[in-house]
Amino acid sequence: MTKRCSGLPLALVTLVGSMRGIADIHEWRDASEELDESCMRQADMENGVLPIFVYAFNRLKDPKLKSCFLYCSLYPEDYDIPRDELIANFISEELMDTRSSRRAEFDQGHVILNKLEKVCLVEIWTDREVVRMHDLIKDMALTITKHNPRYLVKARLELTKILKIQNWTKDLDMVSLMDNSIHDISPDRSPKCPRLSSLILSKNYLLKFIPECFFEQMRGLCVLNLSETSIEQLPNSISHLEKLNALLLGGCGNLVYVPPLEKLRLLRQLDLSGTSIEEVPKGMENLTNLKNPILGLLTHLQELTLPCHVVHPTDVEGLKQLELFDGRLNSVSDLNQLIKSQQSEGRLRYYHIILNEPGEVFGYDEYYPPCKVVHFGDDSVADSSLGVDENLLPQDIEELLFEGFGLSCCLLDYFPMLNNAKDLKKCDIVVEDKIECIMRLSSEEEQQSRGVPFQSLEDLPFYGLPNFIGLL
C-alpha cells in the first residue's frame, strides 16, 4: 500500500489517516485489495497519486462527510477558509442533519471538520480558526465533482467576464467564481441551471450590475453569495428564489436596494452588513399571522447582522428562531426591552449590541468567534428616564464597553446587575469625564446580598478618565 504512494509524504499521511485505528489483518488485506482496484479504476488520472486520495475519500462511509469535504473545493487554492463561515454554508446547503438550534448545528459542523482532519483530507489551523485544503487533494475533489455532484469552480483565476453561456450546463449543482475581477455580466446571460444550489460571486470587487434575467432559470438556489462586490441594486428576479436559505451581501458598500423578499420563507441567513441600505426590504407585510410587520416576518431567520442600522427591539422580538444578532439600538430603554423579551422567550445565544454610537462600526470580524458584547456609545443614557436599579444587562454578557456613555461617579451604582455578571471577562471604560470609581466599599452583609462583582474579569482597560480616583 505504501508503494502506491510513490514516496509522496502527503499521500502517505492521507493513506495512514484513512486506516487509523484498524488493527485486524483481514481488514488490512481487504483495504489493500480495495486500494488496488481504486488505482486501476482511476488509472487515467494525470497525477499518479490522485487515486490514493480518491481511495481515502471513498472510505468516508458517511455521505455528510463526503458532501462537506467536496464543498471545501469551491474555495480558491491556498485559501484560508474561515471555519464558522464554512459551517454556516454547510447549514445553508443542508449538507448536514437538521438540529434543534443553530448552536447544535454548528457543533455538528465542527465534529465533521474534525473528522475530515483526522483522516488528513483537510488541515485545521486552530489558532486562526481556518480550514485549508492541499492543492493535490483539491484536484482530487474537483475530479470527483466533474460528475455527481457537478461543480464548476473558477475561483481566483483573474477572470474579467462572466463565463460563456455554454459553460452553464443543466446538471450544475454548485458554481464558484469568487475572488476574480468580473466587472460585467451581459444582459443576454440567462444560464439555464435548474439544479444549481449554490452560486458564489463574492470578492468580485468590480462587479456593479447584474441583469434582471440572470437568476430567472436558477430557481433551485439555496445559497447566493454576492458579498464584497460593488453592486448597487439586486435584480427583482431575486424575489422568486423561494428555496434560498442564505442571502449574503456583506461588504457591498454601494448596495442601496434589495427587492421584496416575501417569498423567501426558507431564508435563515441574511447579511446586510456594510451596505448602504437605509430601510428593511419591502414586501414582507404580505406575510400574515406574525406580530411584527417588518423583521418579524422572517420567522426562519437565525442570524441578523445590521451593524450600521438602528433596530427597534420589537423587530427582534418577532424573530423567534434568532440566535445571533449584530445591530444597533437607540437607548438603554430599548436595551432593557430587548433583554426582558429574550429572558422570557428568546433563544439569542450571541450578540454584539451597540447603543447610540455613530462612529466606527465594529462587526463580528472584530469579535470572532461570535461572543456576547454590549457597546454603550456616546450619550446613550440621555433619553433614559429609568432608575438605576432598572438598568439591565444580559446575564451572560462576556464583554462590555463604555465610550463617552456619560457614566457618573460609580459604575456599579448605575449597573447593579454587574454584581452578578459571572461571565464578564472584559470591561472597557474610555473617555468618561465623570466616573470616579468602579465600585464602592460596603459592609460584609451588603456584599453577600449583592453578589461578587467581576469574579471572572480578565481585562479592565481604561483611559480618558480625568476624574477617576480608583477601583474603590
pLDDT in tens, 126-135: 766 899 998 8
The residue with cell 484560508 is 80
pLDDT of residue 299: 52
Contact between residue 117 and residue 124 where contact means Cβ atoms under 8 Å apart:
yes
pLDDT digits (tens, 9 = 90+) for 318-330: 677 778 888 888 8
From the number of C-beta atoms within 10 Å of its C-beta (0-12, 13-18, 19+), residue 52 rates as: buried
Residue 156 has pLDDT above 70, yes or no: yes
Q: Could you give the CA distance from residue 292 to residue 281 in angstroms, rounded to a whole number?
A: 14
| Closest C-alpha among 357, 365, 299, 363 to residue 330 | 357
Ranking 157-171, 252-266, 347-361, 453-467 by mean pLDDT, the lowest is 347-361
What is the structure's pLDDT at 195?
A: 94
Burial class (CB in 10 A: 0-12, 13-18, 19+), 309: middle
Q: Pick from 66-70, 299-303, 397-401, 413-417 the range whose average pLDDT is largest.
A: 66-70
Segment 276-279 long-range contacts (CB within 8 Å, at least 24 positions apart): 277/309, 278/309
Model pLDDT, residue 151: 96
pLDDT band at 293 (very low <50, low <70, confident <90, very high): very low
For the question of whether the overall pTM of this predicted structure is more than 0.75, the answer is no
Give tens-digit pLDDT for 202-226: 999 999 999 999 999 999 999 999 9
At 71 the pLDDT is 96
d(CA 139, CA 123): 15
pLDDT at 382: 42
Amino acid at position 101, single letter: S
State the chain's mean pLDDT as an integer. Answer: 81
- Provide the pairing of β-strand 123-125 with 130-132: antiparallel
Residue given cell 432559470 in the structure block = 217
Average pLDDT over residues 111-131: 87
Query: How far is it, in rounded angstroms, from Cα 215 to Cα 49?
Result: 40
**Mean pLDDT to the nearest integer, 97-118:** 88
Nearest to 183 by CA among 132, 231, 252: 231
Q: Could you tell me the CA-to-CA distances from 321 to 108, 269, 297, 313 in Å, in that order?
A: 18, 11, 11, 15
Residue 361 pLDDT: 43
- Higher pLDDT: 186 or 198? It is 198
Sheet holding 81-82, edge to edge: 81-82, 130-132, 123-125
Q: Above 70 in pLDDT, residue 362?
A: no
Residue 41 confidence class, pLDDT cut points 50, 70, 90 = low
What is the rounded average pLDDT of the residues 305-313? 72
Query: Taking 80 as the threshold, does the pLDDT of residue 10 lie above it?
Result: no
Whole-number Cα distances in Å, 166 to 162, 173, 190, 328 = 11, 15, 11, 46
94 pLDDT above the threshold of 80: yes
The mean pLDDT of 266-287, rounded to a whole number, is 68
pLDDT of residue 225: 95
* Surface-to-core class of residue 103, CB atoms within 10 Å of its CB (0-12 exposed, 13-18 middle, 19+ buried): middle
pLDDT at 15 (0 to 100) = 78
Name which residue leads in pLDDT, 199 or 43: 199
End-to-end Cα distance, the chain = 70
User: Greater confidence, 5 or 193?
Assistant: 193
pLDDT category of residue 138 using cuts at 50, 70 and 90 = very high
- Measured distance CA(52)–CA(49) in Å, rounded: 5
Q: Which three cell numbers mark 370?
A: 461570535
DSSP label at 4?
G
Q: How many beta carbons lie within 10 A of that of residue 26, not counting itself?
A: 8
Residues 6+ apart with CB under 8 A from 374: 335, 351, 353, 355, 393, 394, 397, 399, 400, 401
Question: Is 70 exceeded by the pLDDT of residue 189?
Answer: yes
Identify whether the C-beta of residue 205 lies closer than 8 Å to the C-beta of residue 228: yes
The pLDDT of 342-351, averaged and rounded, is 73
CB-based contacts of 257: which residues, under 8 Å, 6+ apart? Answer: 232, 233, 234, 277
φ, ψ of residue 373 to 5 degrees: the values are -130, 140
The pLDDT of residue 363 is 42
Residue 186 has pLDDT above 80, yes or no: yes
How much of the chain is helix, strand and coil, in % rounded to 5? 30, 15, 55
**pLDDT for res 283:** 52
**What pLDDT is stored for residue 287 in this prediction?**
31
State the pLDDT at residue 276: 83
CATH of the domain spanning 152-162+169-287: 3.80.10.10
Confidence category of residue 64, pLDDT binned at 50, 70, 90: very high
Give the mean model confidence (pLDDT) for residues 364-386. 61
Per-residue model confidence as pLDDT tens digits over 405-439: 888 888 888 888 888 888 899 999 998 888 999 88
CA distances from residue 459 to 406, 424, 437 in whole angstroms, order as listed: 21, 10, 16
Higher pLDDT, 347 or 410: 410
